[in-house]
Amino acid sequence: MKTIDLFRFIDRWVGTPLCLLFSLLTPLQRWWLRVFPRNPSHPPKILVIKLVEIGAVVHAYPFFKKIREEFPSAEIYVLTFKKNLEIFELFKDSINTKQIITISEEGFIPMAKDLLKSLWLLSCIKVDMAIDLEFFARASALLTFFSGATKSAGFYAYGFEGLYRGNFLTHQVSYNPLAHTAVNYLALAGTLKAPSKHSPELDQFIDTSSLVFPAYQSVPQVYQSLLPLKIPQDKRLFLMNTGEGNIPLREWPLENFKIVAESILINEKNVLLLVGTKDARPKSEDLMRQLKHDRVFNYCGQTNLKQLLEIFLISHCLIANDGGLGHLAMLTPLEKYILYGPEAPQVFSPLGPRTHVFYSHWPCSPCLSALNHRNSLCRDNKCLKAILPGQVIKMLDL
**Does 64 lie in the same domain as 159?**
yes
Among 186, 210, 234, identify where a domain stops: 210
pTM: 0.92
**Does 191 lie in the same domain as 146?**
yes
**Does 107 lie in the same domain as 15?**
yes
Domain of 270, CATH number, reads: 3.40.50.2000
**Does 141 lie in the same domain as 65?**
yes
**Does 277 lie in the same domain as 166?**
no
Q: Long-range contacts: 119-125, Cβ < 8 Å, 24+?
A: 119/143, 119/146, 119/147, 122/47, 122/77, 122/79, 122/146, 122/147, 122/148, 123/148, 125/45, 125/47, 125/77
pLDDT tens sequence across 146-168: 998 999 999 998 888 767 888 88
**Does 70 lie in the same domain as 23?**
yes
Among 187, 210, 233, identify where a domain stops: 210
**pLDDT value at position 1?**
45
Confidence of residue 2 (pLDDT cuts 50, 70, 90): low
Read off φ and ψ for residue 45, nearest 5 degrees: -110, 120
Rounded CA-CA distance 350/341 in Å is 15
**Does 176 lie in the same domain as 236?**
no
**Does 245 lie in the same domain as 185?**
no
In a domain, residue 215? The reply is no
> What mean pLDDT is predicted for residues 324-349?
95
Q: Are 24 and 126 in contact (CB under 8 A)?
A: no
**Does 102 lie in the same domain as 58?**
yes
Q: Which domain holds residue 172?
A: 3-210
pLDDT tens sequence across 286-326: 999 999 999 999 999 999 999 999 999 999 999 999 999 99
In a domain, residue 325? The reply is yes
**Does 26 lie in the same domain as 156?**
yes
**Does 168 lie in the same domain as 34?**
yes
Among 210, 242, 265, identify where a domain stops: 210
In a domain, residue 15? The reply is yes
**Does 177 lie in the same domain as 32?**
yes
In this structure, which amino acid lies at residue 188?
Answer: L
Number of domains in the chain: 2
